[in-house]
Amino acid sequence: MGFVAAAVAILAALLVLLVALVAYTAAVARRAQARVPPLGRFVDVDGARLHYVDRGRGPVVVLLHGLGGNLRNFHALIERLAPDHRVVALDRPGCGYSTTASAAQPDLFEQARIVAAFLRALDLRQPLVVGHSMGGALALALALDFPDHVGSLVLLSPASHEVREPPAPFKGLDVPSPVLRRVLAWTLATPLGQLAHERMLAAVFAPDAVTPGFDVEGGGALGARPGNFIAASADMVALPAALAAMAPRYPSLSLPVQVVFGRDDPICPLALHGLPLAAAVPGAALHLLDGGHMIPLTQADAVAALLRKAAAERREAATVRTPVANVVPA
């Protein structure tokens, strides 16, 4: 009886711990959503409900955020561009406040299909598409699979080529099993993430300092929600195979492409992503800035200037009409 009683006591203690972890995770998620509520509108497209902001008037710029992020990651660029551009930023499917009908996180190509449907729903015709980090990979997938939907690309610190080893700050997301991923999301991921939050941000922003107010203005607090862990883990696990499939297709891109990197980016190193991408895409321009991976925030003025120029070039190209040649009989 002693052994049975001990076993029952251990199981009861584990159950209490499990309930406590789930309750803590739910409470943290509620606090995060109270601090960082939705900013914009929602639209239902192709099996997804997408949260987006649509600001300003003028040349259209569409912003796609990176792994584990949300549209608030672009707040500094939105502020700088919206006075004379129409800036549309969306939470990628499964991220931020965007949801999908399926419980499974859509892969990169499925996300590209959803974003293409989003562009059609808002009647955004061949805009300048800007992608940061994994959002850069999504922008590339969109241009490859839906070339008539994209006018030009600006890729900020994009993930573009297969790398099997995840960046050090994201190794905790390397959970291939969907079941284990969900268990961790509702038990250990949030409390451990809270403990490592400041260290994680410092590693992602390195060598730059974390921008003030990132948790609220930049949406960083939403990373504590279990759904964010599930989506980010699924995205990261599936990304290498998607990039391996895409890389041989980069030479087929015929639209204007600009690649922008921080010289000291530790998350998507220039040598592994920026240089081979710029070499593979015909006519691609490579711009190097001081700093690391989070250049949409740490180098917002320089990035906004590049986007402003790219949008102007896109608008000028869209207005060009090929003249009809005068044919003189021989």
Ordered domains of the chain (ranges, CATH): 2-315 (3.40.50.1820)
> pLDDT tens digit string along 285-301?
999 999 999 999 999 99
Torsion of CA 110, 190, 51, 90, to 10 degrees: -70
DSSP per-residue codes, 176-209: --HHHHHHHHTTTHHHHHHHTHHHHHHHHHTTSP
pLDDT, averaged across the chain? 93
| Amino acid at the residue 258 | Q
**Do 275 and 155 touch, CB atoms closer than 8 A?**
no
The CA distance from 325 to 233, in Å, is 56
Residue carrying structure tokens 């994009």:
158
139: pLDDT strictly greater than 60? yes
Mean pLDDT of 114-141: 98
CB neighbours of 203 closer than 8 A, spacing ≥ 6?
168, 169, 266
| Amino acid at the residue 145 | D
- Which of 114-118, 204-208, 321-325 comes out lowest in average pLDDT? 321-325
Residue carrying structure tokens 């964010």:
228
CB neighbours of 157 closer than 8 A, spacing ≥ 6?
66, 132, 133, 136, 260, 261, 262, 265, 267, 268, 273, 274, 293, 294, 295
Tokens coding 321? 């009409």
Structure confidence at residue 328 (pLDDT): 28
Instruction: Tell me whether residue 10 is exposed, middle or buried, using C-beta atoms within 10 angstroms of its C-beta: 0 to 12, 13 to 18, 19 or more.
Output: exposed
Q: Residue 267 — left, alpha, or beta (φ > 0 → left; ψ -120 to 50 → alpha)?
A: alpha
Residue closest to 158 by CA, chosen among 317, 284, 61:
284
7: pLDDT strictly greater than 80? no
Structure confidence at residue 197 (pLDDT): 95
330: pLDDT strictly greater than 80? no
6: pLDDT strictly greater than 90? no
**Do 102 and 176 touch, CB atoms closer than 8 A?**
no
Report pTM. 0.93
176: pLDDT strictly greater than 80? yes
